[in-house]
Copies of this chain bind each other. A is one copy, B any other.
Amino acid sequence: MKGKKTTIHEIAKELNTTASTVSRALNNNPRISEETKKKVFAMAEKLGYEPNTMAASLRKGRSQIIGIIVPYADRIFFSSVIRGIEEEVKKSGYNVIICQSYEKIENEIDDVNALLSAQVAGIIISLSRETSTYEHLKKVIQKNKTLVLFDRTTDALNTSCVAIDDYQGAYSSVSHLIENGYKKIAFFSGNKKVSIFRERFRGYLAALKDHDLPVVDDYIIEVPSDVEQGKLVTEKLMSLAVKPDAIFSSSDFSALGATKWLLQNNYRIPEDIGIVGFGNDPFTQYLEPTISSVDQKGKEMGKTAAQVFLEQVEGRNSIHRKVLLSPELIIRESSTKRSINKMVI
């Protein structure tokens, strides 16, 4: 332990050979004899050799680092995706760099540039809410780096995407409500400029249509994903002449707001009003009543995005894949009139 870092050159010197042989041996090159390999590995071990992946990456022009860009790293959905990605790519010897866009396009652009400068193998990204131009991402593609979008995707780019089937998630939620006897179902939408919310809206409409229920414009409201906003909107909804008897919310938080307002105003859930949220945020399972919600499969989405990424980066597959994961409707107390019997015992 002289403090000096040992390189392949030191190993070579000790073994009276050259760095190229050592490099090849360490990389298990078939042209190197087993005997030499053994010696090299032994000496590497003995000298406490640790590879410098930067040097290798510089030479190879590609690193084993994947850039991830998300709006916020501490939102449960995104942190789950990050976990899923890391877990998956680690197996193949990759590491992940995390960047946050804070929903700002400028940050997203800066992040992309920083990641390219760091010579990442590619980028896995969920677009910021603001993102509507794609030059920064086209640059990624032009540089021949792998690019995978997840959740917040776009069709403007010819690249691989992984998302859940928001349409289906909404469709089955609304169908589930209908099957539980609800007929006047309100819809809390997110910002309809964002594709996922448009899809959820489509699913909502289709479910109504397939069950021969009318579309009531007053029941369709754009609500930010926020508890207080949920309360406000619910108050308005419940002052309509014909009140809805269920709410399907694009967000667990506005669903929570609705729940709180309803309980405070002596509505019973699910008896008077049924509720289904979206996101399956952990809190939904702890509330009283527990709230049904569509699970977005964060970790699974991360794993899938990682797999698609690896497939592409290793050149096994050059055509782009659009993967739609099936969301899972987690049925809890807030939407199941039938289960009342079970609950009361």
Contacts and interface: CB of A to CB of B under 8 A. Distances in A.
Nearest to A67: B95
Interface residues of A, number: 50
A140 to B, nearest CB: 12
B65 A74 contact: no
Contacts of A115: 95
Given A52-B119, A53-B119, A55-B58, A96 B98 contact: yes
Interface string A50-81: 11111101100001010000001111100110
A37 interface: no
Given A117-B50, A142-B1, A287-B287, A95 B86 contact: no
A118 interface: yes
Interface of A: 1, 3, 5, 50-55, 57-58, 63, 65, 72-76, 79-80, 82-83, 86-87, 90, 95-100, 113-119, 142-143, 227, 256, 263, 282-283, 286-288, 298-299
14 contacts: A50-B113, A50-B116, A53-B119, A54-B57, A74-B76, A74-B79, A79-B79, A86-B98, A86-B100, A95-B115, A97-B97, A283-B283, A287-B287, A288-B288
